[in-house]
Structure 1
Amino acid sequence: MNALLEVGNLRAWYGASQVLHGVDLCIGAGEIVALAGRNGSGRSTFAKALMSMVEAEGVRRFAGMDLAPLRTFEIARLGLGYVAEQRDVFPTLTVDENLSLGLAKRGASRFTIDDARTLFPILLERRGARAGVLSGGEQQMLALARALVGGPNLLIVDEPAEGLSAQMAARVGACLRACAARGIAVLLIEQRLELAPGLADRVAVMGHGRIVFEGAPGALAQREDIVRDWLGVG
């Protein structure tokens, strides 16, 4: 596999507290990889380390570029999009203003604002509404759409189905499938693997800041020990 993202022996800290203890992971173009694990396992810290939002050491290479010396906005401009668990929309701006701020500043994006409205029709209906008055599900759709119109080659999405209705979660899943169909790789961070079955090409399970399993979703289902010890279900 020609890796779009290459991560090797990645360590990360919050102050004196080390959270990641040598993570290795690769993602290919157009591939959907789910990163699972209990709360506190290091999943969100891994995403933040890729975006240079926490102190980190190790190999972080995206499209052949070393991410280590780059700042967060420079990494985003390379084509690495990040939708945080908190969604982080601009609450006082309208839906359309939020989308316009996300527009790619470099070349053409695979997704236009019209594409985003087709995926999430509510964004057209609420285009003049301030983002702060949207429901949690609507804010999640806006955050995803804003990231997509930025033209990413890899989209990192942290807990996109958390707190959403089954219908809203299904629409988010359809969005991620559309990303892969257009050649956009996805790193899907989930605790309970709500969206990953039938969506992810591979699943990586994280525990205590390390990858403890990596393989196809079907292979994970057969590993009762991994599911029991590291996912807290089963």
Structure 2
Amino acid sequence: MSALLEIRDLNAWYGASQALHGVTLSVAPGEVLALVGRNGSGRSTLARAIMGLVRSEGELRFAGRPLAGLRTFEIARLGVGYVAEHRDVFAALSVHENLLLGIASNAVQRARGRAPRFTLDDAYALFPVLAERRRTRAGALSGGEQQMLALARALLGDPDLLLIDEPGEGLASLVMQQVAASLQLLRERGVAMLLIEQRLVIARAIASRVAVMGHGEIVFDGMLDAFVERADVMYEWLGVG
């Protein structure tokens, strides 16, 4: 099966500081790849590079199309969703208005004649608190509620690939379970994911492959079962004994 996302020899910089060093990675259609590593290892930078948010050099292709030179909204319209670590909801808009923006962003997919795989009813059913607070300004939500809103908005864009950065960070156990359930639903509907985690709390339930980043490089890439048997990798790159 050909890759949906192809990354080859990718370097990226923040100003003069190089953050990624020759990253090569791929995600197949419908695959869930967990990208793990310590803080500062380059995981978030990789997601930003895919979305055109940092200066990078190397090969980036989505569904066979080069991403170099495209602006972020153009990459999103190709079918790449992105949930950043800091959620980035539209604080002055209501919950419902934020979700409507997600629906508006999938107009290109609808124009191709494909029915959306994730609807507004799905969003409210999966995250009942969003239905209860649909008229509340997003800026007044708790951190966990904002995470749910950012995720639901991205899903309503009907992506073929979802980049999601630390979905469980700072969330209570019950909220984390709801987030994991939403990702499970999306996987069942054929959406590929690059799931960025420091730990494997959510990844263990839905990922089939694991890639480990260290110092801006991929230091391990293999199936989940093989990864959990590599105590040396977990200790050196994740600090897990």
Same-fold call, TM cutoff 0.5: yes
Contact kept, 8 Å, 1:113 with 1:149, in 2: the verdict is yes
Q: How big is each residue's C-alpha offset from its partner over 1:180-221, in whole Å with a ceiling of 9 and x where there is no partner?
A: 111110110001122111210100000011110111222111
Q: How big is each residue's C-alpha offset from its partner over 1:158-199, in whole Å with a ceiling of 9 and x where there is no partner?
A: 000000011111111111111111111011000112211121
Contact kept, 8 Å, 1:30 with 1:179, in 2: the verdict is no
Please, what is the CA RMSD of the aligned residues? 0.9
TM-score (norm 2): 0.95
The CA distance in 2 between the partners of 1:115 and 1:59, in whole Å, is 36
SS at match of 2:205: coil
Identity fraction in percent:
62
The CA distance in 2 between the partners of 1:109 and 1:75, in whole Å, is 18
Partner AA of 1:173 in structure 2:
A
Q: Which runs of 5+ in 2 are unaligned?
A: none
**Corresponding position: 1:209 with 2:216:** yes
The CA distance in 2 between the partners of 1:126 and 1:60, in whole Å, is 39
Residue 7 of structure 2 corresponds to: 7
Residue 65 of structure 1 corresponds to: 65
The CA distance in 2 between the partners of 1:56 and 1:110, in whole Å, is 32
Residue 168 of structure 1 corresponds to: 175
120, 136, 142: which one aligns with 2:143: 136
SS at match of 1:198: helix
Pairing 1:189-208 to 2, within 5 Å after superposition: 189-208=196-215
SS at match of 1:163: coil
160, 164, 176: which one aligns with 1:157: 164
Residue 24 of structure 2 corresponds to: 24
Q: Which structure 1 residue ranges, 4+ long, deviate > 3 Å from structure 2?
A: none
SS at match of 2:186: helix
TM-score (norm 1): 0.98
